[in-house]
Amino acid sequence: MLLKALQRSRPFPAIPVALLLGVIMAASAEAEDKAYPEILKTIEQQGIRILGEMQVPGGLRGFAAKAGSQPLAIYLTPDNQHVVVGTLVDAYGQDMAEQQLKQMVEQPLTEAAWTKLEASTWVQDGDADAPRIVYIFTDPNCPYCNRFWLAARPWIDSGKVQLRHVMVGVIRQDSPAKAAAILKAKSPEEALAENERKHADGGIRPLDSVDGDTAAKLDRNATLMTDLGFGGTPAIVFKTGEGKIETYAGMPSETQMEGILGPK
Shared domain for 121 and 243, answered yes or no, is yes
User: Mean pLDDT throughout 33-37?
Assistant: 58
Which range is least confidently modeled, 42-51, 162-171, 215-224? 42-51
In whole angstroms, what is the distance from residue 12 CA to residue 157 CA?
Answer: 47
CA angle 167, 132, 112 (to 5 degrees): 65
Residues 153, 231 within the same domain = yes
> What type of residue is 94?
Q
Mean pLDDT is highest, among 9-13, 99-103, 173-177, for 173-177
Residue 245 makes CB contacts below 8 A (sequence gap 6+) with: 108, 109, 110, 111, 113, 114, 237, 238, 239
Average the pLDDT over each of 111-125, 126-140, 236-250 and give the range with the smallest value: 236-250
Element (H, E) at 24: strand 23-26
| In a shared domain, residues 208 and 94 | no
Q: Three-state SS for 259?
A: helix
Read off the pLDDT band of 114 (50, 70, 90).
very high
Q: What is the CATH number of the domain that holds 243?
A: 3.40.30.10
Please indicate, yes or no, whether residues 99 and 115 belong to a single structural domain of this protein: no
Please report the pLDDT score of residue 66 as a whole number: 78
Domain termination site, one of 90, 105, 120? 105
Structural domain tally of the chain? 2
In tens, the pLDDT along 71-111 reads 889 999 888 888 888 888 888 888 888 888 877 776 667 88
Q: What's the rounded mean pLDDT across residues 135-146? A: 97
pLDDT grade for 52, boundaries at 50, 70 and 90:
confident
129, 234: one domain: yes
> Per-residue pLDDT tens for 245-256?
888 888 999 889
Looking at the fold, whether 132 and 27 belong to one and the same domain comes out as no
Residue type present at position 194: E
- Give pLDDT, residue 14: 34
Q: Are residues 171 and 40 in the same domain?
A: no
Alpha carbon distance 118, 213 (integer Å): 18
Quick one: how far is CA 244 from the chain centroid? Answer: 18
Nearest to 189 by CA among 165, 159, 213, 154: 165
Segments forming the whole domain that contains residue 249 = 111-261
* CATH code of 13's domain: 3.10.450.70
Domain identity same for 42 and 116 = no
User: Can you point out the beta strands (E) in 55-147?
Assistant: 61-67, 70-76, 82-85, 88-89, 122-125, 132-138
pTM, two decimal places: 0.66
Query: Based on the domain organization, do 87 and 141 belong to the same domain?
Result: no
Is residue 21's pLDDT more than 50? no
**pLDDT for the residue numbered 108:** 64
Report helix angle 212-227 to 175-183, nearest 10. 110
Same domain, 12 and 75: yes
Q: What are phi and psi of 254, to 5 degrees?
A: -60, -45
Residue 148 φ then ψ, to 5°: -65, -45
- Domain finish residue from 65, 85, 105: 105
Helices and strands (H and E) in the chain: how many: 10, 12
